[in-house]
Amino acid sequence: MSGPAVGNFPGTDDDGRAVAAGGLTVVRGRVPVLRDLSFSIPAGQITGLLGPSGSGKTTLMRAVVGVQRITSGSVQVLGLPAGSTQLRHQVGYVTQSPSVYPDLTVEGNVRYFGAMHRKGAVEAAEAIAAVGLQEQARQKTADLSGGQLSRVSLACALVARPRLLVLDEPTVGLDPVLRADLWGRFRDMAAHGTTLFVSSHVMEEAGHCESLLLLREGRLLAQLTPAELSRRGHSTDLEKAFLHIIQEAAEQPGPAAGDRKTLNGKPPEAESRDTESRDRSVR
Amino acid sequence: MDAVMMLATTRRVLEQLRHDHRSIAMILVVPALLLTAVYFLYENETLPPGAPRTFDRVGLMMLAIFPFVVMFLVTSITMLRERTSGTLERLLTTPVHKADLLFGYGLAFSIMAALQSLVATAVAYWIFNLDIKGPPGFVVLIAVINAVLGVALGLLCSAFARTEFQAVQFMPVVVVPQILLCGLFVARDRMNDVLEAISNALPLTYSVDALQEIAANAEATEQMWQDAGIMGAIVLGVLVLASLTLRRRTA
């Protein structure tokens, strides 16, 4: 293992890292979903997790939250192993499909998840306001639109005021105005010290992040900034830049030389078999 | 255990139920209607002088069986939804203890069961003049323990179903054998050895036994308390098994 982030474990948040993973590998059944990932997520920033559908984004997020059984390697969150009891107050997780109770009101949902963190009506009202659903607060969640539903789900995580917020595709199905609004909200939270780890398969959203993890077929292609992405991918269009980097990686099997943050330690012959099994690894 | 989280869970489950008028009707009204049907089934029976009415025996046992069946059904579906919708996984990333969830569920449905049993028992006593020696309070107590048994088994069984259709399939497997062998149709001492042994292992048997004790005695008997104790122990055992199916970390 040659990842630079692995050297100084255990990573505490004192050195500015909210999450530090070393050699993280997840095999589901016999299908490798994540392979030997080493990376870190800086505290108080927005880090984007980008990659095509089926690349292992959700599994990686679940590993950070601590609900994913991992095969080998380690994930440290705020200086503790992911999933530690002490972290349950500090890590918020919003799953891709909204996980709320459709037969409760918006307020009922947010109040309930707030109660798990000893938060009351005031915090619940703030969280509902933060996602712009004040007017729907007393409506039954089942009667809301898809975009509103995912914002209820987000409010249920915001109410706990977590230090690390893990968001799996939070902007899917939202209109452009709301999407911009939500990213503004995320930047605001980061400015106040919250660490955000946000996945997306829409490359244009990468521009909102300060740091990016590029994932493809369970491997980390690179960890870089949006500016570095467009420079390395020779395009200001981040989608084109990403495609370019993927092509480059396909042309040069093995660790991409010259990128200090590319941590790809697996032999290239594993690739063809993995491509076949990729569909099954999609959660 | 954390009282705040447990009570929040109880409140949430009751709140969900409040929006579901049909389930409320099933819990509160249907048992009383079925009891009415049982009463009129035996309305014209000819009895030798001094013999107790069949309704006094069967109706009484129905009072214990309704909450068990209804709560099993309602709980297994509610919990299955919790498991498949992602809300359970989300809850388990919060500081909530598994016991808070399970007891929160148990308490919510016990409250509903107590209401159900009050309605059904009141109908049995006041409208159909149910004639037993023991006090109705004990009948309600046994009914509530039965309801909690239904809740515990429902929580457990929901772990082995992937869809609501599969959850309903547990009815004939888990519920019907207990009704057949609990002593409602054939007295347990007249069953063959194999069936009696199976019957001894099924929890509903003990509640029927307890009700027979209440029917035959004006005061609570030792046997009744023993039956209630066995039921309580089985409920706790099933809840512990159910808690093992709540996993914070999954593959």
What is the per-residue pLDDT across B135-149, written as a single tens digit (0 to 9) for each? 989 999 999 999 899
Backbone angles phi, psi at B209, to 5 degrees: -60, -45
Which residue of A lies nearest to B7 if distances are taken between CA atoms?
Answer: A115
Are A128 and A224 contained in the same domain?
Answer: no
Are A69 and A209 contained in the same domain?
Answer: yes
DSSP, collapsed to helix, strand or coil, labels residue A264 as: coil
In a domain, A261, yes or no: yes
- For the entire predicted model, the pTM comes to 0.83
Q: Mean pLDDT across the stretch A18-39?
A: 92
Question: Does the structure show a pLDDT above 60 at A263?
Answer: no
Q: What Rg do the C-alpha atoms of chain B give, in angstroms?
A: 19
Of the pLDDT bands very low, low, confident and very high (cuts 50, 70, 90), residue A252 is low
Contact with chain A for residue B16, Cβ under 8 A: yes
Tell me the chain B residues in contact with residue A69 when contact means C-beta distances shorter than 8 Å.
249-251
Are A190 and A116 contained in the same domain?
Answer: no
What is the per-residue pLDDT across B157-187, written as a single tens digit (0 to 9) for each? 998 998 989 999 999 999 999 999 988 888 8
Are A64 and A169 contained in the same domain?
Answer: yes
Across the interface, of B9, B19, B86, the residue whose CB is closest to A103 is B19
Helix (H) or strand (E) holding A176: helix A176-191
Contact with chain B for residue A113, Cβ under 8 A: yes
Tell me the chain A residues in contact with residue B22 when contact means C-beta distances shorter than 8 Å.
none
Distance, in Å, from the CA atom of B70 to the CA atom of B32, rounded to the nearest integer, reads 13
Of the pLDDT bands very low, low, confident and very high (cuts 50, 70, 90), residue A14 is low
Are A121 and A212 contained in the same domain?
Answer: no
Based on the structure, what is the number of domains in chain A? 2
In a domain, A283, yes or no: no
For residue A79, give the CATH number of its domain: 3.40.50.300
Are A84 and A20 contained in the same domain?
Answer: yes
CA distance B251 to chain A (A): 5
Across the interface, of B4, B96, B251, the residue whose CB is closest to A69 is B251
Are A80 and A126 contained in the same domain?
Answer: no
pLDDT at A176: 85
In a domain, A172, yes or no: yes
Q: Mean pLDDT across the stretch A157-177?
A: 89
Are A115 and A177 contained in the same domain?
Answer: no
**Is there a contact between B197 and B181 (Cβ–Cβ < 8 Å)?**
no
Tell me the chain A residues in contact with residue B14 when contact means C-beta distances shorter than 8 Å.
none
Among A112, A137, A160, which residue terminates a domain? A160
Contact with chain A for residue B84, Cβ under 8 A: no
Percent of chain A past pLDDT 90, that is, above it, reads 53
Question: Does the structure show a pLDDT above 80 at A258?
Answer: no
Across the interface, of A69, A104, A117, the residue whose CB is closest to B15 is A104
In a domain, A232, yes or no: yes
**Is there a contact between A53 and A217 (Cβ–Cβ < 8 Å)?**
no
Left, alpha or beta for B243 (phi > 0: left; psi -120 to 50: alpha)?
alpha
Q: Mean pLDDT across the stretch A157-173?
A: 90
CA A241 from centre of chain:
20
What is the per-residue pLDDT across B20-78, written as a single tens digit (0 to 9) for each? 899 899 889 999 999 999 999 988 888 888 778 888 888 999 888 888 999 999 999 99
Among A160, A175, A196, which residue terminates a domain? A160
User: Which pair of tokens denotes residue A278?
Assistant: 């990729």
Are A19 and A77 contained in the same domain?
Answer: yes
In eight-state DSSP terms, residue A105 is B
ipTM > 0.90 (yes/no): no
CA B158 from centre of chain:
16
Distance, in Å, from the CA atom of B147 to the CA atom of B141, rounded to the nearest integer, reads 10
Contact with chain A for residue B77, Cβ under 8 A: no
In a domain, A177, yes or no: yes
Are A221 and A147 contained in the same domain?
Answer: no
Among A160, A181, A203, which residue terminates a domain? A160
Question: Does the structure show a pLDDT above 50 at A10?
Answer: no
Task: Report the 10 Å Cβ neighbour count for B173.
Answer: 9
Are A145 and A193 contained in the same domain?
Answer: no
CA distance B213 to chain A (A): 42
Angle between helices B3-18 and B54-84 (to 10 degrees): 110
What is the per-residue pLDDT across A68-107, written as a single tens digit (0 to 9) for each? 999 999 999 999 999 899 999 899 999 988 999 999 999 9
B109-132 burial: b if 16+ Cβ within 10 Å, else e? bbbbbbebbebbbebbeeebebeb
Across the interface, of B19, B87, B93, the residue whose CB is closest to A88 is B93
Question: Does the structure show a pLDDT above 50 at A271?
Answer: no
DSSP, collapsed to helix, strand or coil, labels residue B159 as: helix
Are A71 and A135 contained in the same domain?
Answer: no
Distance, in Å, from the CA atom of A155 to the CA atom of A141, rounded to the nearest integer, reads 12
**Residue contact A95–B86, C-beta within 8 A:** yes
B189-223 burial: b if 16+ Cβ within 10 Å, else e? eebeeeeeeebeebbbbbbbbbbbbbbeeeebeee
Distance, in Å, from the CA atom of A77 to the CA atom of A74, rounded to the nearest integer, reads 10
Distance, in Å, from the CA atom of A246 to the CA atom of A237, rounded to the nearest integer, reads 14
Range of the domain at A175: 6-90+162-277
In eight-state DSSP terms, residue A71 is S
In a domain, A282, yes or no: no
Q: A11-20, A133-142, A244-253: which has the minimum mean pLDDT?
A: A11-20
Peptide bond into A253 cis (omega under 30): no
In a domain, A44, yes or no: yes
CA A105 from centre of chain:
27
Contact with chain B for residue A30, Cβ under 8 A: no
